[in-house]
């Protein structure tokens, strides 16, 4: 149903955010 679909989309968004933050913190550490 729609609930499962929205939950799956939310999970994908969280994973993407996790990788973006991980990459960003790595970049910031290199700059510092």
Q: What is the pLDDT of residue 30?
A: 80
**pLDDT tens by residue, 1-32:** 889 999 999 999 999 999 999 999 988 888 76
Q: What is the pLDDT of residue 15?
A: 98
Q: What is the pLDDT of residue 32?
A: 64
Q: What is the pLDDT of residue 6?
A: 93
Q: What is the Cα–Cα distance from 20 to 18, expressed in whole angstroms?
A: 6
């Amino acid at each position: 149903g729609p609930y499962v679909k929205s939950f799956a989309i939310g999970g994908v968004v969280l994973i993407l955010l996790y990788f973006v933050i991980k990459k960003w913190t790595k970049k910031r550490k290199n700059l510092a």
